[in-house]
Structure 1
Amino acid sequence: MLSHHDRTELEKIERSLELSDPDLAAALRDGRRPKSRALRSALLIVFDITAVTLLVLGLVLPDPGVTLCGILALTATVWTHVARHRL
């Protein structure tokens, strides 16, 4: 059991956290992990590079399968970028 002083200090810390970082405070309150934007951005960049590489290889090589994979991957990256900016 916490003393009255400890409870008031914790309430002050909680209010300070809610003012300084409301997303983190909500994540801690709801019990979910905060979203990692850096990891998501890095994965999206890797996917972009892969899609462009597949498309270029498909245009250079006489293989329509690689071209199709590049077009599909590029379509998926565009869709992901648009969906990401709508949030």
Structure 2
Amino acid sequence: MLSHHDRTELEKIERSLELSDPDLATALRDGKRPKSRALRSTLLIFLDVVAVTLLVVGLVLPDPGVTLCGIIALTGTVWTHVARHRV
């Protein structure tokens, strides 16, 4: 159980958070993580480039392992794009 002092301090923090970042306060209250679209988009584009690079390098070199990794990575990125647009 929290003391009276601790509860008042938490209420001050909550009010300050609601004033400074209402979206974060709402996300925390609802139990949902705030979505960072810019970071997610950047990471997804980076993974696309890596997957295509692996596939091209695997096709140029006579190494079926690199080609297989490129195909798997490209399949994963396509699946991620499709899943992202369905949400």
* Same fold by TM-score greater than 0.5: yes
Equivalence for 2:40: 40
Question: What residue number does 1:79 align with?
Answer: 79
TM-score normalized with structure 1 length: 0.68
TM-score by length of 2: 0.68
Any stretches of 5+ residues in structure 1 without a counterpart?
1-9, 18-23
Deviation at 1:34, TM superposition (A): 1.3
Where structure 2 has 5 or more consecutive residues not aligned to the other structure, the ranges are: 1-14
Asked if 1:53 corresponds to 2:66, the answer is: no
Which residue of 1 is the match for residue 10 of structure 2? none
Give secondary structure in 1 for the equivalent of 2:38.
Answer: helix
Q: Percent identity over the alignment?
A: 76
Give the Cα separation in 1 of the matches to 2:31 and 2:85: 25
Name the counterpart of 1:64. Answer: 64
Cα distance, 1:31 vs. partner? Answer: 4.8
- The runs of at least 4 consecutive aligned structure 1 residues that moved more than 6 Å come to none
Q: Equivalent residue of 2:35, what SS?
A: coil
Structure 1 residue 26 displacement after superposition:
3.4
SS in 2 for 1:34: coil
Report the Cα distance in structure 1 between the residues aligned to 2:77 and 2:31, rounded to whole angstroms. Answer: 31
- Aligned letter for 2:75? T
